[in-house]
Structure 1
Amino acid sequence: GFPTTIVASLRSPGVATAATRLLWSGLILRAENMDDADEMGTTVELFVYDLTKGMAAVMSQMLIGRHLDGIWHTAVVAYGREYFFGPLGIQSVRPGGTELQEPQKVEKIGQTYLPYSVFWEYINGLGTSKFAPGTYNLFKHNCNCFTEEVSNFLVGTGIPKYILDLPEEILQTPVGQALFPLIENLSKGATAGFTVGQRFVEARIHREDSPEYQSLNSEIEQARLNSIALEEKRNVINEKLAKKERKKKKKDKKKRDKSSRESGSESNSTGPTNCTAMADGESTVAEMPSHANGDAQGAEMLPSDRILEMEAEEKREQEELKQRRDPPIVFRDHVDPAAELEQFRLLLQGKLDENEMLSVDELHQYVLENEGSWALGDNFLNFVGRVFYDKTLDSKARVCLLNILCIAALKDDVILLLHQDRREHTIMNFAYDIDRHPLEEQLPLAQFIANLFENLSSSEWLMYISEWQHQNQSISNIRVTTKVAVHSLLSESEDLQTRGTAIIHNLACKEKMNKNIGLRQLLPKGSISKVFDDVAVELTMALLQYFNGTPAEEQLYACMKSLARFTQISGQEVPQLIQMIGPEPAKFRGCSQRIDELIDQINKKLLTSKDSKAHAGPAPKRRRIKVSKYAPIFKWLPKYNKYRAVSDAIAGITIGLTMIPQSIAYATLAGLSAQYGLYSSFLGGFLYAIFGGVREISIGPTSLMAILTLEFTKGTNPEFAILLAFLAGCIELVMGMLDLGFLVDFISLPVTSGFTSATSVIIIVSQLKGLFGLKIQASSLLGQMYKIGENLENAKMGDTIMGLTCIVVLLCLRKLKDVKIADTSLRGVIISKTFWFLSVGRNALVVLTCSVISFYLHQGGQTPFALSGQVRSGLPGVAFPSFSTSVNNQTYSFVEMCSHLGSGIIIVPLVSVLANIAIAKVFASGSVNASQEMRTLGICNILGSCVSSMPTCGAFTRSAVSHASGIQTPFAGIYSGWSFFCPSSVFQPLSIIAELFHLTPGIMTILALSFLTPYFFYIPKTVLSAVLISAVIFLMDFRIVQQLWRGSKRDAVATIGTFIICIVFNVEAGLLLGIVSNIVYLLYLSARPSIVDTECTANMEHKYLLIRPDVGLFFPAVDFLANKITDIADDRAGPNVPVVVDCQRFRGIDYTAVKGLEKLVKDFNEKDLTLWFINLNPKVVKSIRTLGDLDKFKILKNEAEVVALLCGLDKENSVNVQIVSENARDIPMKILPSMPEVESLLAKGSNGEQR
C-alpha cells in the first residue's frame, strides 16, 4: 500500500507534481523487482470524442478561418470505468456508456501499478477540491485539464498536446475572441447552481444505475442464495454419506467373519486341495472386491436412496456432456413467471372453457411448482395453438404465454413437450411465421428458441431435418431455427438482435459438439453435423450483413465467435463468401482482446482458403472487388421484408403520380416531345435500385437537366439530346471508376445556390409563354422577357386563366399536408392521410382534372387551350444512340455533334452529380459515396440513352415526396425479378397483396407509355407550365445572400456573380465562373498560409521565437513562408535568440519546398542566426533526405528539446510562454508544463553526456 500522507498530498495542486514524482519513483523501483509486473498493471486509455461528429474538419476553415480536426472531449478509462469532468463535476460510466457513444479515437496512455483503493481516494479528493461541481470552465478548466491531471497521476504521461492547445487555437481567431465573453457568461450561469466541495461519490446518487450494475447486483444476490442452499444440501448429503459409510463398515465386518467361518469349515471337511487352484480362487475374489461390495450395497440400499443415486449419476453424465461444449447463451432472469402467469389469467378471464382453464392450471404446476412435464395434459398444445392463432385474443396474452414458455424451455424435461408438438407442429409453425408477428411477440419467441439450447435434448430437437408442409412449403426444425435467428439478427430492434445473436452463437456451439465422434452415437436420427453445411452459408450472410452496422462488444464477440466456427466447418464456402461480400472481420480489430483472437482465427482460415487455390503455383495478385461496393443492393436486400415492401409500394405509387406529369413538362422544357420525358423516367428507377445508395433519390428528368439540354441542343433534333445523355453517362462512369468523387467538393454551397436560383429564374421565364398561350422565339433570357412584355396583350384568356388557377391550386395543395387535424380518432386519421395524399399527388390531380375538362370541351368542338398534341405510344426500341444525324438537310458526324454540344459534355455530368450529392446530403442518414453516385448516374444515362432518354439525375421535389411517403429502400418494382439473389430464409416471399400494389415510378411510366399516351393529347400546355413554375419557384433562395453578406462577403460575391453570369450570358459560364473562383481561393490559401510567431522565454537569459505555419508547405507557399520567417528574424531574432519552426502541420513536402528551405537555412547561417525545425514527421524527413541535403538542417524532436538545449542543467526551467501575433497584440497563454522529455534530457546532461 501507499502512505495516506502521499494520497493527501496529491489533492493539493501545489505539491501534486512532487508527490507524483515521489509516488512514481517508488512504483518504478517496485516494478523492477517484480517478475510479473506486466500482469499486475492496469491499462490506462484515453477516449477522445469529437463533439461535432466530423463537422469541425469540414466547416472550421470557413467558419473561424482555421482548420480544426475536431472539438475534442476526452475521458480517462481505467479500472474498468470511464472518468470525465463536466459541469456536474467528476462522473464515471462504463467505457463508451456516455451519450456520445463510441469514441472517435482510443489512445493507450500506458500501464499503472497503483492499487484501485489509492486511485479511488485520489479521485474523490479531486472531486471535492480542484474538480468539484461548479468549477468547470469551457476554456480554462475543462474535461481535457482533468484527463491531463489524472493521466500524469496514473502513468506519469499527459495527454496529446494538440488536445490541450485546442482552446488556445480557437481563442486566437477573431471569432473565438468575439465569442469568448459570451461563452464565459454562459459557462458561469450553467455552473452557478452547484456547490463547490460536493463529493464525487455523492454525485452518483442522483444518477440512475446502469443496467449492468443492476444485473450484477441481482447476480450477486442470487449467488448468495444459491450458496446458502448449496451449503444446506451439502450438510444433508454428508450426513447420508456418513450413515452409509457406517452401514458399509458393519456389512464388511460381518462378511469377513462369515467368510472366515465358512473357509474354516470347508478345510476341516474336505482336507487339503490343490494349492494353485486355491491361489487362483483367492486372486479372483481379490480382483472383484469393489464390485461385490457394490452389489451388496445395492441389494440393501433403500429405494429412495437408489433413486437419488440414479438421478445423481444421470446429472453427472449430463454435466460431462455439457462440459464438452461451450455454454450456450440463454436468458434466465428476464421474465418473472409468477407475474406473467397472473397477467395471463387476467387477460384470458372469461374467454376460456373448462378444459382450457385446466391447461392454465397445468402450466402453473409445470413452471411454478416444478412439476414434471407429466403435469401437462394431452390438450395442452391445443390450448397453446388457440392462444397463438386466435386473433380475437389480446396480443399481450400471446406475449405472456411466450414468456412463460421461455422459462419452461430451461427445464430438463421440456423435450417431452416438444416431442408432443411433432404431431401438429403448433409451436414451430408459429415460430416460422415470426416475420408476420408484431415486434412485441417476436422478442419472447426468439428468446424461447434461444433458451431451448440450454438442454442437450431440446437443442438436438432444434436440429432435426425431417420435413413437413406449412403454407405449401417444406420446412423443418433446423429451417425454423435458422429463420428465427436470421430475422432476429437483421431486425431493427436491438433487443431482438441480441436474441438473434444468441441463437446463432448456440447453433455454432452445437456444431462443435456434433463433430465429437464420441457424442455422435448419442444424437437422434436426423440430427447430424452435416446440417451445418446447409445453413452455415445462410447464417454467414446474415452475420456479414449485421457487421455493416456498429454492434456492441458483447454481441460482436458472439457473432465473431460464430463466424469463426462456421469457417471451420463449411469447407471453402464461408471463407469465399467473406472474401466476396465483406466486410472483412479485421475492421473490428482493436475492439477487445478476445475479438482480436477470433479475428486471427478467421484470417488464418481465409489465408488457408487462398493457399488452397494456389496448389498449381503462385497465382497473380488480384485486387479483390467487393460486390456491395459497386452494387449497394446487396447491403440492404437481406433485410427486405413485407413491411418494407408495403412502404415502398406506397412511396412508389406516390412518386409515379408525381413523375409522370413532371416528365412530360420537363420534356417540353427541353424542347422535346412528351414521350421523351417518359422514356427518361422508367429505366433509371430500375438501375438505381441496384446501384444506388440513397433510397430517397428517384432518377428521371429534372428541371436542371431540361434547361441544360435545351441550352446545348437548341435548334437540333432529339438525337443530339440522346447523344448528350450517352456522353454524359460515359464521363460520369469514368469519373466514378477513377474515384473522382472528391471533385464535387470544389463546388461550394454558395456557388451551387447561385446556379440553382439562376436556373429557376430561367425556367420560370421560359414557361411564361406557355402559361399565357404566347408563341414567341428568343435566344436569351432578357430577350424572352422583352418579347413576353411586348406580346402580353396577345395572351389567350383561356390559357391564362387556367394556368394561373393551376398555380394557385398547386401552391394551396402543397400546404395541405401541413394542416394539423386535432381529432385523433380513426376519422381524423383518415382525413389527415387524405390531405397528405392530395398534397403529394397534386401534380397528377391537377393535370388529370384539366385534361378531363379539355377532353370534354374538345369533344364539343371547343378548344380554348393550347394542347400538348399527339404523343407516340408504346415503349421505345432498344438501340445505341445515333452517332450521326441530319438536321435541316445538313448531316452531322459524331465529331461535329460533339463540337456542337461543346462544354455541355462536361457541364451536364458535373451538374447531375452535384444535384445527386446535394440530395444525398439532405436525406441520407449516413455518409455519401460521391464516386458511387457518379458510377450509378453513368450507368443510368448510358443505358437510358439506349431507350431514347435525355440526360437524367435526381430531383429535390421527388426526393422530398419519397421521404414524406416513408420509402424504405431504393428497391422499386423489380422484386419478383431479383428475389432469387437472397436465401429463402433471409429474403422471404411477399404476400400477393404486396406484389399487386408494389407499383413503382418505373412500372407506372411503362404502363403510361403502353396505355395512356392517347390521352396525353388533351393535356393543356398551360397546365404543364404551371406544374414547372410551382415546382422550381421554391428552388430560388435569395435569403442566403443577406446571410452570406453578414458572415462572408467572399461567398456572397461568389453567389451573386454566379447568378448574374447565368442570367446575362448562359448557365455553363456562370457555373464555371463559380468553380474557378472556389479553386482560386483554395490556391490562395495554399500559397499564403497564416503564420503565428510565438516569443518564448526559457529563463531570464534564454529566449527563442516559435513560428507555426497553419498549413502544409508546398511550392506555391515556399517564397512567402521564407520571406515571412526572414522578416520576423530580422525584427526580433538575434545571435542568442534562435528561430524555431514548428512543422507539425507539414504532411508532405516537394522538391521546390526543400530547395527553398535550404536557401533559407543558408541565409540564416550567413547572418549568424540559428534556425531549428521541430515536429517533423518521418515522411517529411525522408523527403528532405532524398531531395536535398539533410545535414544542412538542424532538426529537433519537439519543443522539449529546445527548452533543454537552452536551459542546460537548470532543472527548475519553468518556461513562461506568451503568444505574440502579427499585429503585436498580446494574448495570454498557459504555462508550458514540465515535460518528461525535458527531464530526461536534463538527466543526460547531469551525467556528463554531450549533445
Structure 2
Amino acid sequence: MKVARYLPFLQWLPEYNRSVCVSDALAAVIVTIMLIPQSLAYALLAGLPPQVGLYASILPLILYALFGTSRTLSVGPVAVIALMTAAALDGIAVPGSPEYLVGAILLAVMSGLILVVMGLLRLGFLANFLSHPVISGFITASGIVIAASQLKHILGVDADGHNLIELGRGLFGQRHAIHWPTVLMGVGTLAFLMLCRKRLKPLLKRFGAGERLADIVSKSAPILAVMVTTLVTWGLGLAQQGVKVVGHVPAGLPDLSLPSMDPGLWRELFVGALLISIVGFVESVSVGQTLAAKRRQHIDPDQELIGLGMANLGAGTSGGMPVTGGFSRSVVNFDAGAETPAAGAFTAVGIALATVTLTPAIAFLPKATLAAAIIVAVSTLIDLKALVRTWRYSAVDFVAMLATIVLTLTYSVEAGILAGVGLSVGLFMYRTSRPHSAVVGRVPGTEHFRNVQRHQVETHPRVAMLRVDESLYFANARFLEECVMDLVSRQPALQDVVLVCAAVNLIDASALESLEAINERLRDSGVRLHLTEVKGPVMDRLGKTDLLKDLSGRVFLSAYEAWEALTHETLVKAESKSVPLAVGP
C-alpha cells in the first residue's frame, strides 16, 4: 500500500480493461488535436523554438500518468508558466538563442526537483501562502500581459517587453512598420476563434448535436484555424510576402540529456524556478481537485507535487520547457470521457507521432495564427470583476490583489507575485496580531453565550467571560495581555476572568508565557483566571506545562458550566456576608 502511494498507477492499472482503454484513447485523440497548436503557441510565448512545446508534451505526460493522482488532469505547456519562463530568462540570454534554450531546460529540471522534494517532505501546504485574491490578481494581470505580448505577431512588428509599459512603448514605436497582410491573417483568425468560442456550440446544439459533442467541436476550433491558415500561407506564398511563419521544425523525437551544471546559472534561475513550481502546483492542483470532485474522486496534493515534479524533470531531460496541468485541456479531457491517466500517455503518443510526421507542414504555420490562439485562450483568465467582488468583501484582500495586478502589469511577474505573497502574509500577521475578542454573556434561559455589544444577555459584575476568536501565537500574545488587563481595570468589582477558547486551535510558547504572566498579574490583583472550551490538542500541550498546575482558577468543559459554577460561588459568598448582589442583563 505504501508503494502504491508513491506509484498511483498501481491503484487503477489492475482494473484497466478494454472499455476503459477505448474511452481513454478517444479522449486522447481529441486532446492531441487541441494540444498541438497550444504546445507550439506557448513555446512561442516563452521565446523558445516551437518544437520545444511539442517535446514538453511527450515524456511529461507519460511520467505524470505514472506518478500523478488525478485521473483527468492534462499536463503540458500553459500560458502563465510560459510567461513566467520568459520573465525568468529575461536578461540571462537572448530569446531563441542556444543559451536561452539551455536556461529554459534548466528551469524545467529545477522546477521538477523543487516539486519532488516538496512532495517527499509533504510541503503541499506551502502553496496556501498564495491566497486566492493574489492568485486571481496574478492570473488576471498575466492574461493581460500575455495578450498584449502577442499583438506584435498580430501586427507583424518587432516589439519586446515583459510588462505592459514596455510592450506598449515598443508597439507604439513600431506603428509605422505594421504589416497589413499579417494583420488581416491575425485579426481574421482572432475573430473566427472568438466566434467559435461564443457561437459555435449553441449553433451545433440547434442542429441536433449533443452537449458533449458540441462542446468538444467548439473547443477544437484552433486546429481548424491552424490547418486553414497554414494551407493559405503555403498556397499563396505569403511567407515570401512578409508574413512571419514558424519556419523549419526539426522532425523526430528529442534526445534525452542532462541540463547545464553551471552553478552560476542555477543560482540565477533559482527564484524563477521556485515561483514557477509554486504557481504551477497551485494551478494544477486546483484544476485536479475541481475535476475529481465531479466524479467523487480524490487527489493527494503531496503526491501531486511528486507527479508534477516528475513531469517537469521529464520535460527538462527531453529538451522541453516547464509544464503544469492546463485548465482548458483538462476540461476537454474530462468531457471527452477520459477515465484514467492512461489517456495522458496516449496523448503523448499522439504528440510524438505529430512531431515525427507533421513538422514539414508546421513550417508554414503563421505566427499570427498562434498569437490569435493564445489571445483567445488567455481571455478566459482575465477576471476584472473579481476586483469589485473582493473590494466589497474585504478591503485588505483587495489591497493584496491590486498590488499583485499593478506590479505584474507595470514591472514583472516575479515582482507581482512576490508582492502579493508578501502582502498576504503581512496582512494576515497584522489581522491576527489584533484578534477579535468579545466579552460574552448568557442568552437568558439558554446555555448559549453571545457578544454583550450585539445581544441582550445576562452578565455578572464579578465574572467576566472573554471569548478570543483566534489562535494565540507570538504576534498576538501581547495584545491578549493588554485586552485582559484593560477589562480588569474597567471592572473594579471583578473576581473571575474566564477565557473562552472555542476558537483557539494553537497556543505557542510565546502565548503560553503571556498566559502565565496574565495568571500572575490577575492573582496579584485578587482575580482568578479560568479557561473553558479548550480543545483537546491544545489541552494536551498545556498539560505538559506548569500553567494548569499554577492556574489561579479552573478549567471548565463549557462556558455554561463556568457561568453556573462561578455565579453560584459569588452568590454564596454574597449571602454569607449578607450583601445583596444582582444578576441582570
Larger radius of gyration: 1
Q: Given the alignment of the two structures, is residue 948 of structure 1 paired with residue 327 of structure 2, yes or no? A: no
Change (3 A) 1:1201 1:1022: closer
Q: Distance in 2 between matches of 1:1153 and 1:1037?
A: 41
Cα deviation for residue 1009 of structure 1 reads 1.4
Q: Distance in 2 between matches of 1:1172 and 1:771?
A: 71
Q: How far does the alpha carbon of each residue in 1:806-830 deviate from its partner, in whole angstroms, 9 at most, with x for none?
A: 011111222312336456xxxx348
In structure 2, list runs of 5 or more residues that go unmatched.
Answer: 446-457, 576-580
Q: Distance in 2 between matches of 1:791 and 1:971?
A: 47
Q: Distance in 1 between matches of 2:209 and 2:242?
A: 41
User: Are the counterparts in 2 of residues 854 and 863 from structure 1 also a CA contact under 8 Å?
Assistant: no
Q: Distance in 1 between matches of 2:8 and 2:435?
A: 41
Q: Distance in 2 between matches of 1:1033 and 1:1151?
A: 49
TM normalised by structure 1 equals: 0.42
Residue 971 of structure 1 is matched in structure 2 by 342
Change (3 A) 1:651 1:1124: same
Residue 721 of structure 1 is matched in structure 2 by 104
Once the two structures are superposed, the pairs formed by residues 143-222 of structure 1 within 5 Å of their partners are none
One-letter code aligned to 1:644: V
Change (3 A) 1:669 1:829: closer
One-letter code aligned to 2:313: I
Q: How far does the alpha carbon of each residue in 1:358-399 deviate from its partner, in whole angstroms, 9 at most, with x for none?
A: xxxxxxxxxxxxxxxxxxxxxxxxxxxxxxxxxxxxxxxxxx
Q: In structure 2, which of residues 167, 170, 188 is the aligned counterpart of residue 787 of structure 1? A: 170
Residue 698 of structure 1 is matched in structure 2 by 74
Change (3 A) 1:665 1:1216: farther
Change (3 A) 1:1144 1:1042: closer
Q: Distance in 2 between matches of 1:1039 and 1:681?
A: 33
Q: In structure 1, which of residues 1115, 1122, 1129 is the aligned counterpart of residue 481 of structure 2? A: 1122
Q: Given the alignment of the two structures, is residue 865 of structure 1 paired with residue 233 of structure 2, yes or no? A: no
Residue 133 of structure 2 is matched in structure 1 by 750
Cα deviation for residue 677 of structure 1 reads 0.9
Cα deviation for residue 1129 of structure 1 reads 1.4
Cα deviation for residue 767 of structure 1 reads 0.9
Residue 383 of structure 2 is matched in structure 1 by 1037
Tell me, what secondary structure is at the counterpart of 1:951? coil
Q: Given the alignment of the two structures, is residue 931 of structure 1 paired with residue 320 of structure 2, yes or no? A: no
Change (3 A) 1:669 1:1147: closer
Q: In structure 2, which of residues 36, 47, 59 is the aligned counterpart of residue 671 of structure 1? A: 47
Residue 1071 of structure 1 is matched in structure 2 by 417
Q: In structure 2, which of residues 201, 205, 227 is the aligned counterpart of residue 817 of structure 1? A: 201
Residue 448 of structure 2 is matched in structure 1 by none
Q: Distance in 1 between matches of 2:324 and 2:470?
A: 37
Change (3 A) 1:676 1:1189: closer
Change (3 A) 1:1105 1:959: same
User: Are the counterparts in 1 of residues 204 and 214 from structure 2 also a CA contact under 8 Å?
Assistant: no
Cα deviation for residue 1126 of structure 1 reads 1.0
Aligned residues: percent identity? 30
Tell me, what secondary structure is at the counterpart of 2:363? helix
Q: Distance in 2 between matches of 1:834 and 1:1147?
A: 50
User: Are the counterparts in 1 of residues 111 and 312 from structure 2 also a CA contact under 8 Å?
Assistant: yes
Q: Distance in 1 between matches of 2:4 and 2:80?
A: 30
Change (3 A) 1:779 1:1118: closer
Q: Distance in 2 between matches of 1:896 and 1:864?
A: 40
User: Are the counterparts in 1 of residues 162 and 412 from structure 2 also a CA contact under 8 Å?
Assistant: no
Q: Distance in 2 between matches of 1:673 and 1:648?
A: 30
Q: Distance in 1 between matches of 2:532 and 2:143?
A: 54
One-letter code aligned to 1:1204: A
Q: Distance in 2 between matches of 1:1171 and 1:833?
A: 64
Tell me, what secondary structure is at the counterpart of 1:707? helix
Once the two structures are superposed, the pairs formed by residues 431-830 of structure 1 within 5 Å of their partners are 581=1, 626-714=2-90, 715=94, 716-778=99-161, 780-815=163-198, 816-819=200-203, 821=205, 828-829=208-209
Change (3 A) 1:938 1:1112: same
Cα deviation for residue 930 of structure 1 reads 1.8
Change (3 A) 1:1069 1:1201: closer
Residue 854 of structure 1 is matched in structure 2 by 233
Cα deviation for residue 1003 of structure 1 reads 1.0
User: Are the counterparts in 2 of residues 685 and 972 from structure 1 also a CA contact under 8 Å?
Assistant: no
Cα deviation for residue 695 of structure 1 reads 2.6
One-letter code aligned to 1:1200: E
Change (3 A) 1:1040 1:1176: closer
Q: Distance in 2 between matches of 1:677 and 1:1100?
A: 69
Q: How far does the alpha carbon of each residue in 1:930-950 deviate from its partner, in whole angstroms, 9 at most, with x for none?
A: 212111111111122111111
Tell me, what secondary structure is at the counterpart of 1:877? coil
- Which is bigger in relative contact order (C-alpha 8 A, separation at least 6)? 2
User: Are the counterparts in 1 of residues 530 and 556 from structure 2 also a CA contact under 8 Å?
Assistant: no
Residue 1166 of structure 1 is matched in structure 2 by 524
One-letter code aligned to 1:971: A
Q: How far does the alpha carbon of each residue in 1:962-985 deviate from its partner, in whole angstroms, 9 at most, with x for none?
A: 2332222221275xxxxxxxxxxx
Residue 959 of structure 1 is matched in structure 2 by 330
Q: How far does the alpha carbon of each residue in 1:616-664 deviate from its partner, in whole angstroms, 9 at most, with x for none?
A: xxxxxxxxxx233222223333443333322222211111111111111
Q: Distance in 1 between matches of 2:72 and 2:538?
A: 45
Q: Distance in 1 between matches of 2:285 and 2:536?
A: 37
Cα deviation for residue 779 of structure 1 reads 5.7
Equivalent pairs counted in the alignment come to 550
User: Are the counterparts in 1 of residues 110 and 270 from structure 2 also a CA contact under 8 Å?
Assistant: no
Q: Given the alignment of the two structures, is residue 901 of structure 1 paired with residue 272 of structure 2, yes or no? A: no
Q: Distance in 1 between matches of 2:387 and 2:374?
A: 25
Residue 1110 of structure 1 is matched in structure 2 by 469
User: Are the counterparts in 2 of residues 1095 and 1103 from structure 1 also a CA contact under 8 Å?
Assistant: no
User: Are the counterparts in 1 of residues 129 and 425 from structure 2 also a CA contact under 8 Å?
Assistant: yes
User: Are the counterparts in 2 of residues 654 and 840 from structure 1 also a CA contact under 8 Å?
Assistant: no
Tell me, what secondary structure is at the counterpart of 1:967? coil
Q: Distance in 2 between matches of 1:840 and 1:779?
A: 29
User: Are the counterparts in 1 of residues 27 and 343 from structure 2 also a CA contact under 8 Å?
Assistant: no
Cα deviation for residue 1128 of structure 1 reads 0.9
Change (3 A) 1:779 1:1093: closer
TM normalised by structure 2 equals: 0.87
Cα deviation for residue 1093 of structure 1 reads 0.9
User: Are the counterparts in 1 of residues 530 and 555 from structure 2 also a CA contact under 8 Å?
Assistant: yes
Q: How far does the alpha carbon of each residue in 1:5-60 deviate from its partner, in whole angstroms, 9 at most, with x for none?
A: xxxxxxxxxxxxxxxxxxxxxxxxxxxxxxxxxxxxxxxxxxxxxxxxxxxxxxxx
Cα deviation for residue 679 of structure 1 reads 0.6
Residue 1203 of structure 1 is matched in structure 2 by 564
